[in-house]
Structure formats: structure tokens, C-alpha cells
Amino acid sequence: MEMTASYGQFCPVAMAAEVFCTRWTPLVLRELLCGSRRFNDLRRGVPRMSPTLLSKRLKELTQAGIIESRKSADGSTEYHLTPAGEELREVVMALGFWGQHWVEADLALRKLDPSLLMWDMRRHLDPDPMVAGRCTILFLYPDLPSARQRYWLVVEGRDVDVCSTDPGFEVDLYVECSLRTMTAIWMGIATVRNEVEEGRLEIDGDPVLAASMQQWLGLSPFAREGKAAATTAA
């Protein structure tokens, strides 16, 4: 792997850091570990990363033997982790758990991104507690500029999609709160029940979807410490 900078030390920590600690690389690996395979899906997980830099990092990770590119059935390129890449799973998860445990929650909640939050919720949503058939859930964040206030989750079977424009389906559940409130719920800092009781979260629509929101929404995979509390409070 051609590096732009080197620690110049023959040390496993230094050599691993030269691969892992380049800017954006841990987040690209997070996306791959969460199941993103295609370039556009990776971009949705790192929306502030330029396409040029993402291409560069994917090339570097390929050269390092951490990922490999494959052609899918439709001829598009997919990126898959090699065994070396899979071994980084515990490193990435440990980094996330450390951040959840030690980084001040109020500081973390200032760095909010609705598209990233909805994308993360989409890929971890559990459709099992939901009603049969297609479910459409509208999330409204009134504290954001009008162009970024509305997001739709469309669930049909095991397929989940997130839309920033109206998909044209009848809405089964309306969820309204600040982006900070929904992020706190997703990170396990707060619970659905508590935020409803405090008047910070409004839910209206299908009673089954409303009652099971904490279950189908789930939590961020890094919300380990908040998980038990959220499950108990649901």
C-alpha cells in the first residue's frame, strides 16, 4: 500500500495505524462492516466525504488487502471485505463503544446529520414487530430547514428503503420530533416512551406501529450501554 505518510517505525501498532488511521478510513470500514457494498451506498454513509477521496480510500484499502472488488450479477462493482478486513470488525466496534462511553453525550449530539441518521436507522430496522404488508413511516424534524425536514421509511417484507422525497404511498405512521431527540433515542441515550411522556416526541397513526416503535426502530449497534434501559422502558 502506497502511503502518503509513514511513522517510520517497525512496530505492528505503527504499521496498522498507517492503514487504519488515514482520514475517513475508519468510517469507510464502518460502512463496509454494516453491509454497504456499492459506491453510492458507501457515499450515503459518509455524505461529507468527496467521491474522489472515497475512490482513493477504496483503492488504498484494496492495495492493502483489506477489501476486494467484485462484479455483481448486473455488472456493477461491489466492495467486499477480505478476511483481513473482517478482522478489523472488533477494532471498529471497540472504537465505537469507546466513543459512546467516553465522549460527552451533549457534545456528540451537536454533530447531527439527518441523512446519516435515517440511513443508519434504515439498515438496522427490524421489520418483525411491524404489521404485514407495506409500511410507510414519515419522520418530521421541524427544527431543520424545510428542504431537510421530511424523511420516509418504506418497509415491505425484509426490504427497507429511506426516501428524502415523498414516495407516494399512504403514510401509516407519523413521527415528529427534533433531530436531537431522534438521535438520542437511536444512540440509546433516551427512550421512545420517555420522550413521548416528556412531550418531545409525537407519534400518530397505526396503533401497532406506534406501540412497537422502540422494538422495530432498535438502537445503534454502538448503543450497548443504553440497550438494556431502552428495552426495559419500551
pLDDT above 80 for 3: no
pTM: 0.77
**pLDDT mean across residues, the chain:** 88
pLDDT above 70 for 83: yes
Q: Does the 108-233 domain belong in CATH 3.40.50.850?
A: no
Share of the chain above pLDDT 70, in %: 90
Least confident of 90-99, 137-146, 158-167, 195-204: 90-99
Mean pLDDT across the stretch 166-193? 94
pLDDT of residue 231: 42
pLDDT of residue 204: 97
Pairing of strands 134-140, 150-156: antiparallel
Cα 99 from Cα 223, distance rounded (Å): 10
Least confident of 5-9, 33-37, 66-70: 5-9
CATH number of 12-102: 1.10.10.10
Closest by alpha carbon to 178, among 161, 165, 195? 195
- Tell me where in the chain the CATH 1.10.10.10 domain(s) lie: 12-102
pLDDT of residue 98: 87
pLDDT above 80 for 101: no
pLDDT of residue 108: 57
Cα 222 from Cα 156, distance rounded (Å): 26
pLDDT above 70 for 112: yes
Grid cell digits, residue 181: 431527540
Share of the chain above pLDDT 90, in %: 66
pLDDT of residue 107: 59
More confident residue, 61 or 107: 61
- Tell me where in the chain the CATH 3.30.1050.10 domain(s) lie: 108-233
Mean pLDDT across the stretch 149-166? 94
More confident residue, 77 or 102: 77
